[in-house]
Chain A
């Protein structure tokens, strides 16, 4: 005979002062509504497995008119967008366009390889991509001394968060990178290589590399809590054999036909010609959805699943850690608190409900 699980009221779930405080802290940011923008179709690197140089978007013509970008961002603001992600191919090659965006919507992130310094007056978070130590980066990204140069460019820069993408070939290099960043007082978070559609190269994760990645992430999180922006629930959500869509039902338009509310209603992914296509709109277009464990996708998709995590104090605490991590990684000035749930709790069942 199986005992029935206790059904908690939400007021009981947040009764613990630590949980309540964290809930009140994160809910102040529920106003964030994101869209993403490809800023340039050029990059100063050419990395194996790059999602930008897959599919049609790489062929979109560049619009380099500052006024056109300003008008686009004004229109975005008018339709409720409060947070921008400036991504492909390499935004640091068009700082004048990033600055035009910043003047209109001052909350956002620039995803960069960190080879060029973004002007300080553009006060967005800057995510600097790291794909292993410098030997591996030279092999995969064809650039020498990448981490050395990235760290020099963003030394003492509160905007910077280094994003370490775990691939099957760099798992054990994460420690070396984390140690270097810790010594320099810089922050790191973790991403998972998520294969582009049609990719069959060696960077696609396997069950064994997912398990090994989870183990290394757990060790680094425990040993470098001041440096690593992550939580136990991030590790669970991003290293399972099922991808994010199978676990949580992706809510980006590409996988979500609903335009009623949430990301399905508001999210757009603009290409360099300032056009967007609902059928391919997500934060990492041309990624294979079945293999998607991308940190950007998780930040939106796991966060959006608040209701189903509000079943007991433990799993809600895990979700709060995830959201606290997401905000610390994405919102400049948001300070991550200590994680409140160290247990690797399983995600709630995904009943394949209509994504919102």
Chain B
């Protein structure tokens, strides 16, 4: 499970870096506990874009009303892993 979450965190970080065109950061250096809204400046349209790419990547739906909870890469990774474990 730890391996899984580490891999998921790394992949989500890659996606966020790519989609938001973040500079001076890699998936290895991206702090998974950074607050995406307060510290990275992610807004709802950014998050919706990321959610669509994650939907493709993992084959899961991210409910619109779950957005406010998805505040860090680690939380997103746990959310995805839970959905995958539950077969949602």
When distances are taken between beta carbons in the complex, the residues of chain A under 8 Å from B43 are 30, 33, 261-262, 266
When distances are taken between beta carbons in the complex, the residues of chain B under 8 Å from A80 are 41
Residue of A nearest to B49 (CB): A27
**B65 shortest CB reach to chain A, Å:** 4
CB of A308 within 8 A of CB of B55, answer no
Majority secondary structure, A binding face: loop
Residue of A nearest to B51 (CB): A307
Chain B, residues 7-26, CB within 8 Å of chain A (1/0): the string is 00000000000000000000
Query: Among residues 9 to 31 in chain A, which have CB atoms less than 8 Å away from a CB atom of chain B?
Result: 9-11, 27, 30
**B12 shortest CB reach to chain A, Å:** 16
Tally of contact residues, B, Cβ under 8 A: 22
CB of A354 within 8 A of CB of B52, answer no
When distances are taken between beta carbons in the complex, the residues of chain B under 8 Å from A174 are none
B46 within 8 A of partner (CB) = yes
CB contact between A356 and one of B44, B49, B52 (< 8 Å): that residue = B44
Majority secondary structure, B binding face: helix
Query: Among residues 40 to 56 in chain B, which have CB atoms less than 8 Å away from a CB atom of chain A?
Result: 41-49, 51-53, 55-56
B63 within 8 A of partner (CB) = yes
Docked Cα-Cα span, A305 to B43, in Å, equals 13
Query: Given A30-B45, A261-B44, do A356 and B64 touch, yes or no (CB 8 Å)?
Result: yes
CB of A261 within 8 A of CB of B67, answer yes
When distances are taken between beta carbons in the complex, the residues of chain A under 8 Å from B42 are 261
**B16 shortest CB reach to chain A, Å:** 14
When distances are taken between beta carbons in the complex, the residues of chain A under 8 Å from B46 are 30
Q: Across the A-B interface, how many residue pairs have beta carbons closer than 8 Å? A: 60
Query: Given A9-B55, A11-B56, A306-B49, do A262 and B44 touch, yes or no (CB 8 Å)?
Result: yes
**B79 shortest CB reach to chain A, Å:** 15
Tally of contact residues, A, Cβ under 8 A: 25
When distances are taken between beta carbons in the complex, the residues of chain A under 8 Å from B44 are 251, 261-263, 304, 356
A260 within 8 A of partner (CB) = yes
CB of B56 within 8 A of CB of A304, answer no
CB of A260 within 8 A of CB of B49, answer no
When distances are taken between beta carbons in the complex, the residues of chain B under 8 Å from A27 are 45, 49
CB of B64 within 8 A of CB of A307, answer yes
CB of A30 within 8 A of CB of B68, answer no
B75 within 8 A of partner (CB) = no
Docked Cα-Cα span, A278 to B67, in Å, equals 21
CB of B37 within 8 A of CB of A261, answer yes
When distances are taken between beta carbons in the complex, the residues of chain B under 8 Å from A9 are 55-56
Selected A-B contacts with CB under 8 Å, 12 pairs: A9-B56, A10-B53, A10-B56, A27-B49, A260-B68, A260-B71, A261-B42, A261-B68, A263-B44, A304-B44, A354-B68, A356-B44
> Closest 8 CB pairs between A and B?
A262-B44, A260-B68, A354-B65, A30-B45, A10-B52, A353-B65, A307-B48, A9-B56
Sample of 18 more A-B contacts, CB < 8 Å, known A30-B49, A305-B64, A306-B45: A9-B55, A9-B56, A10-B55, A10-B56, A33-B43, A260-B37, A260-B71, A261-B68, A262-B43, A262-B44, A263-B44, A266-B43, A306-B48, A306-B52, A310-B52, A353-B65, A354-B64, A356-B64
